């Protein structure tokens, strides 16, 4: 089978279709919080913003106005909101989860590159409103909402963290995803969010962002100070689910470190990356890895190894006061020196009002997921 070359074929595709980066329409639908919520946000976020301003950043931090260089890789109607991204064991993809609960796959190796459906869930087969041909958009809670995707490369299985349906798995050929876990420690999942797989052990790490609020009320998780989120592990061999860490304030994305000794977890409400040790003398301990300039969503390793991570930010900390400005930070690259602390080394700005939910580095390009856009973004890092 021919190896796909997503980045290069996409650049060609973009040129062909004359998708000028400068005309990139940033899609903002009427999804903003009501005026009351805005003022509440303002009051509650002010102390955090003042602290952030006082803390400042390291001297070497680079701020790059990258948004206008991002190419939109359109999903095609009616697919919307590609939240998460993953590549399979052959490097194929990306795959992405969209707002109607399905998982799509980008095929660059075809005569006409495009997105095809890869996986669906039992609701699509059993609930009329979730059927493929439906024109009316059903609520996400009805048909499912994949918020995290990752492959276990050895088996080719894809794991799907679905906000409403739980942890799911689908084989390498796609099709109907099976639900593999819906509760841990006797407490049902309520808002399943990020996922990653330890490629050596096959263990699946994922987050349940809150046991109180569902995804549709995600703002309340931040505003209420809710700290009922959990970091979880699913053991494929036994089907056993264990609570790795509870009492988290909106745990969101998760990434297994390259050496498997720890997990990096985005804690959205505290604007932090956490490090949770799995092995070694600190096993079981959780510490702050890095303070972030905004509210993190998913986290994925940078390509050159070296312990760096790309972190997507749903909003930067100044947003409640200043709204979206040219200086709004949409994603950051955090560098980590061994077991020491992490530091923001790169800030990406210029994305307009579109929030970024995941950044995956692949072959010298960055792929951007977003719940606000009808496309996945693609940025050639060399062109910056
Ligand atoms: C990475 O990009 C280069 C340059 O565009 C291309 O030649 C190469 O085949 C790509 N590799 C993969 C694995 O996609
Ligand atoms: C990225 O940009 C560099 C420099 O402009 C170019 O040489 C390279 O071919 C580009 N890569 C892709 C995949 O388009
Ligand atoms: C599941 O995990 C718990 C905690 O690690 C352990 O006590 C229990 O024996 C495991 N059950 C199975 C079936 O492996
Ligand atoms: C809002 O914008 C003003 C003017 O650019 C700036 O001085 C201020 O620091 C910003 N507020 C925050 C919280 O970043």
pLDDT digits (tens, 9 = 90+) for 141-164: 899 999 999 999 999 999 999 999
Q: Which pair of tokens denotes residue 376? A: 């996945």
**Selection from 280, 312, 278 nearest residue 295 by Cα:** 312
**Selection from 359, 341, 227, 219 nearest residue 291 by Cα:** 341
CATH at 354: 2.120.10.30
- Give yes or no for residue 325 CB within 6 A of ligand 1: no
Q: What is the mean pLDDT of residues 302-331?
A: 92
With a CB cutoff of 8 Å and minimum separation 6, the contacts of 23 are none
Whether 1 maps to a domain, the answer reads no
Compute the distance from residue 265 Cα to the ligand 3 centre, in Å. 23
Compute the distance from residue 200 Cα to the ligand 3 centre, in Å. 20
Compute the distance from residue 11 Cα to the ligand 1 centre, in Å. 12
Compute the distance from residue 240 Cα to the ligand 3 centre, in Å. 6
Name the band, by pLDDT with cuts 50, 70 and 90, for residue 166: very high
Nearest ligand to residue 2 Cα: 1
pLDDT at 15: 42
Nearest ligand to residue 234 Cα: 3
With a CB cutoff of 8 Å and minimum separation 6, the contacts of 304 are none
Domain count of the fold of the chain: 1
DSSP H or E segment with residue 9: helix 6-16
Pocket of ligand 2 (CB under 6 A): 7-8, 11, 365, 380, 382-383
Q: Which of 157-166, 258-267, 276-285, 338-347 has the lowest mean pLDDT?
A: 338-347
pLDDT at 47: 46
Are 210 and 221 contacting, i.e. CB atoms less than 8 angstroms apart?
yes
pLDDT at 275: 97
- Which of 48-52, 192-196, 210-214 is predicted most confidently? 192-196
pLDDT at 305: 65
pLDDT tops 90 at residue 18: no
pLDDT at 59: 55
pLDDT digits (tens, 9 = 90+) for 240-258: 999 999 999 999 999 999 9
Mean pLDDT (the chain) is: 86
Q: What is the mean pLDDT of residues 166-193?
A: 98
Whole-angstrom distance between the N-terminal and C-terminal Cα of the chain? Answer: 33
Q: Which domain holds residue 142?
A: 6-383
Name the band, by pLDDT with cuts 50, 70 and 90, for residue 6: very low
pLDDT tops 90 at residue 108: no
pLDDT tops 80 at residue 53: no
pLDDT tops 60 at residue 229: yes
Question: CA 53, CA 34: separation in Å to the nearest integer?
Answer: 27
Nearest CA to ligand 3 atom 4: 242
- Give yes or no for residue 238 CB within 6 A of ligand 3: yes
Pocket of ligand 4 (CB under 6 A): 49, 318, 321-322
Whether 174 maps to a domain, the answer reads yes
**Percent over 70 (pLDDT), the chain:** 83
pLDDT at 4: 38
The number of angstroms, rounded, from the C-alpha of 238 to the middle of its chain's C-alpha atoms is 27
Compute the distance from residue 321 Cα to the ligand 4 centre, in Å. 8
Which ligand 1 atom lies nearest to the CA of residue 6? Answer: 14
Name the band, by pLDDT with cuts 50, 70 and 90, for residue 57: very low
Whether 250 maps to a domain, the answer reads yes
Name the band, by pLDDT with cuts 50, 70 and 90, for residue 17: very low
Compute the distance from residue 71 Cα to the ligand 2 centre, in Å. 13
pLDDT at 383: 83
Q: Ligand 1, residues 1, 2, 4, 5: which to mutate, most atoms within 8 A of Cβ?
A: 5
pLDDT tops 50 at residue 270: yes
pLDDT tops 70 at residue 12: no
Which ligand 4 atom lies nearest to the CA of residue 327? Answer: 5
pLDDT digits (tens, 9 = 90+) for 337-362: 877 899 999 999 999 999 999 999 99
pLDDT tops 60 at residue 1: no
Q: What is the mean pLDDT of residues 17-36?
A: 34
pLDDT at 109: 82
Q: What is the mean pLDDT of residues 320-328?
A: 93
pLDDT at 139: 85
Whether 240 maps to a domain, the answer reads yes
- Give yes or no for residue 5 CB within 6 A of ligand 1: yes
pLDDT at 9: 43
pLDDT tops 50 at residue 181: yes
- Give yes or no for residue 185 CB within 6 A of ligand 3: no
What is the residue whose two structure tokens read 């903003």? 32
E strands, 30-127, in order: 62-65, 71-74, 85-86, 95-97, 103-107, 114-120
Number of H helices, E strands in the chain: 6, 28
Question: CA 94, CA 285: separation in Å to the nearest integer?
Answer: 34
Whether 127 maps to a domain, the answer reads yes
What is the residue whose two structure tokens read 């602290």? 51
Question: CA 195, CA 205: separation in Å to the nearest integer?
Answer: 6
What is each CA distance from 27 to 178, 336, 351, in whole angstroms?
33, 34, 11
With a CB cutoff of 8 Å and minimum separation 6, the contacts of 85 are 93, 94, 95, 96, 149, 358, 360, 367, 369, 376
pLDDT digits (tens, 9 = 90+) for 112-135: 899 999 999 999 999 989 988 766
Whether 237 maps to a domain, the answer reads yes
Are 328 and 353 contacting, i.e. CB atoms less than 8 angstroms apart?
no
Higher pLDDT, 78 or 347: 347
Compute the distance from residue 285 Cα to the ligand 1 centre, in Å. 40
Compute the distance from residue 322 Cα to the ligand 4 centre, in Å. 6
Whether 177 maps to a domain, the answer reads yes
Higher pLDDT, 35 or 295: 295
pLDDT tops 90 at residue 51: no
pLDDT tops 70 at residue 264: yes
What is each CA distance from 333 to 20, 173, 345, 381, in whole angstroms?
26, 33, 6, 13
Whether 295 maps to a domain, the answer reads yes
């Amino acid at each position: 089978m021919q190896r796909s070359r997503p980045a290069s074929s996409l650049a060609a595709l973009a040129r062909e279709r004359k998708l000028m980066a400068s005309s990139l329409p940033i899609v903002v639908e009427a999804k903003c919080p009501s005026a009351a919520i805005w003022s509440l946000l303002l009051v509650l976020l002010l102390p955090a913003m003042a602290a952030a301003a006082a803390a400042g950043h390291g001297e070497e931090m680079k701020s790059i106005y990258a948004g206008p260089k991002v190419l939109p890789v359109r999903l095609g109607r009616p697919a919307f909101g590609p939240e998460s991204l993953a590549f399979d064991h052959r490097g194929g993809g990306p795959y992405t989860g969209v707002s109607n609960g399905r998982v799509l796959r980008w095929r660059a190796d075809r005569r006409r590159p495009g997105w095809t459906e890869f996986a669906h869930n039992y609701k699509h087969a059993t609930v009329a409103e979730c059927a493929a041909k439906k024109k009316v958009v059903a609520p996400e809670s009805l048909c499912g909402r994949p918020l995290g995707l990752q492959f276990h490369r050895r088996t080719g299985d894809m794991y799907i963290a679905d906000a409403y349906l739980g942890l799911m798995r689908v084989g390498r050929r796609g099709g109907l995803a099976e639900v593999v876990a819906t509760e841990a420690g006797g407490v049902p999942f309520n808002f399943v969010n990020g996922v990653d797989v330890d490629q050596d052990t096959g263990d699946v790490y994922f987050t349940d962002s809150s046991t109180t609020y569902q995804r549709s009320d995600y703002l309340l998780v931040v505003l209420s100070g809710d700290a009922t989120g959990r970091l979880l592990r699913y053991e494929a061999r036994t089907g056993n689910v264990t609570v790795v860490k509870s009492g988290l304030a909106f745990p969101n994305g998760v990434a297994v470190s390259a050496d498997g000794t720890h997990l990096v977890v985005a804690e959205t409400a505290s604007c932090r990356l956490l490090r949770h040790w799995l092995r070694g003398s600190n096993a079981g301990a959780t510490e702050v890895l890095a303070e972030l300039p905004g509210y993190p969503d998913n986290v994925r390793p940078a390509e050159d190894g070296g312990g760096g991570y790309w972190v997507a930010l749903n909003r930067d900390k100044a947003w409640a006061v200043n709204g979206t400005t040219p200086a709004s930070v949409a994603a950051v690259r955090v560098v980590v020196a061994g077991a020491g602390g992490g530091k923001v080394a790169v800030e990406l700005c210029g994305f307009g009002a579109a929030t970024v939910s995941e950044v995956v580095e692949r072959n010298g390009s960055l792929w951007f997921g977003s719940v606000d856009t009808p496309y996945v973004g693609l940025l050639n890092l060399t062109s910056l």
